[in-house]
């Protein structure tokens, strides 16, 4: 995974909304945590999947539903969720949404 190397990053600057699929932009890896900016257009979904590492997501802008295992998290700007290692999860954007996702541990190709 290619990682951006910028000193000052505005996570809300130029989100790339592509209708029909989420966009993932690697931001940085800091002390074993890979940070990714994830943008979803209103009505779009990141399909159900799992990552073999613990993770977290912060909704920086928008409104979304974030099911993790058997629980549905209704997220608004500023919401935070923890994603346990191996937990099935997905995201459905109710509004154009921008997330900061952190994956703890060295990432494998295609994670998030």
The full set of domain ranges for the chain reads 29-104
- Beta-strand runs (E) in the chain: 23-30, 33-40, 45-49, 55-61, 63-68, 71-76, 80-83, 89-93, 97-104
Q: Which two tokens stand for residue 96?
A: 């154009």
Task: Please state the CATH superfamily assignment of the domain spanning residues 29-104 in this structure.
Answer: Jelly Rolls (2.60.120.10)
Q: Which pTM was predicted?
A: 0.84
Task: List pLDDT tens digits, range 60-75.
Answer: 999 999 999 989 999 9
Task: List pLDDT tens digits, range 43-101.
Answer: 999 999 998 999 999 999 999 999 999 899 999 999 999 999 999 999 999 999 999 99
State the residue for tokens 């977290």: 56
CA end-to-end distance (rounded Å), the chain: 12
């Amino acid at each position: 995974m290619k990682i951006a190397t910028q000193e000052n990053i505005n996570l809300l600057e130029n989100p790339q909304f592509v209708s029909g699929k989420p966009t993932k932009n690697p931001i940085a890896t800091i002390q074993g945590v890979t940070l990714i900016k994830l943008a979803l257009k209103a009505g779009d979904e990141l399909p159900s999947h799992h990552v073999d590492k613990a993770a977290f997501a912060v909704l920086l802008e928008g409104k979304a539903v974030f099911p993790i295992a058997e629980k549905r998290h209704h997220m608004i700007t500023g919401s935070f969720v923890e994603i346990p290692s191996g937990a099935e999860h997905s995201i459905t954007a109710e509004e154009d949404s921008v997330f900061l996702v952190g994956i703890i541990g060295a990432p494998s190709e295609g994670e998030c």
